Amino acid sequence: MADEMNDHEDNTPEVSLDLDAQNDDLEAAMRDAVAAVEEVESGKDPEPMSAAANAASNEPSGEEEVAKLRREIADLRDRSMRTLADFDNFRKRSERERQEARKYALAEPMREFLGIVDNLDLALSAAGGADDLKRGVEMIHRQMLDLLRRHGVKEVSALNQPFDPALHEAVSREEDPSVTTPTVTGEMRRGYFIHDRLLRPAMVKVSVPAEAKKTAAGGDAG
């Protein structure tokens, strides 16, 4: 039987939850900028200055000002369109990276799980009696529980605990004069949390006092 597998750090990548909102806001801002440029570009040309006024003021003529403004507008529009194109490429790349991160998020836990599968294969192919097989299964069971704990999975307390319909699924019940409130006295299937979230409830048998028999929710009499 192989030794228990070594611990590995959980390198599951984190994915930003508000990336879509940020992308949408930035894209909207850029499109507003382009719209503003187009609005200015489509406006009326200013009236040209008279030759005498232009000569007296020594300032560029109205036509020159208009030409300069049009060049600036064209340059701004060109830069805005390039920025939009760059941003669109960034958004697509970010989405691809996010999909990749989601697709391979379980790679590290699965790599650790393979060590347990290896030990199961060894247990199935090993020669020996029932006691040897039992010891092998117990070792693999410990490995599995250790792997679950390293990834934030922990058991729901059930046996001999007050019945809690948020954590326990009652599949049978019986009267018991020794209890004063509905109490879990049997566990058919263990329940688990992942961090602070319930993965699945525990399937339990509930003992109730005779006068409170109807207060145990979720199960028919066994």
**CA dist., res. 61 & res. 48, Å (int):** 7
Alpha-helix residue ranges (DSSP H) falling in the chain = 19-41, 51-57, 62-103, 107-125, 130-150
Question: What pLDDT score does 8 carry?
Answer: 41
CATH of 154-215, one of 3.40.980.10, 2.30.22.10, 1.50.10.10, 3.30.413.10: 2.30.22.10
Please provide the distance, in angstroms rounded to a whole number, between the alpha carbons at the two ends of the chain.
42
SS3 179: coil
SS3 104: coil
Task: Kindly state the tokens that stand for 65.
Answer: 């000002």
Residue (of 177, 178, 174) closest to 186 by Cα position: 174
Mean pLDDT per 10-residue section of the chain, whose length is 222 residues: 42 46 62 64 51 52 77 84 89 91 88 89 80 86 91 93 95 91 94 94 94 52 43
Contact between 117 and 2 under an 8 Å Cβ cutoff? The reply is no
Task: Give the CA angle between residues 141, 107, 149 to the nearest 5°.
Answer: 35
Question: What pLDDT score does 189 carry?
Answer: 94
Question: What pLDDT score does 146 carry?
Answer: 92
Contact between 116 and 146 under an 8 Å Cβ cutoff? The reply is no
CA dihedral angle for residue 127, residue 129, residue 135, residue 136, rounded to 10 degrees: 20
Q: What are phi and psi of 91, to 5 degrees?
A: -65, -45
Question: What pLDDT score does 181 carry?
Answer: 93
Q: Domain residues of the chain, as ranges?
A: 19-103, 107-151, 154-215
Task: Kindly state the tokens that stand for 99.
Answer: 């999909």
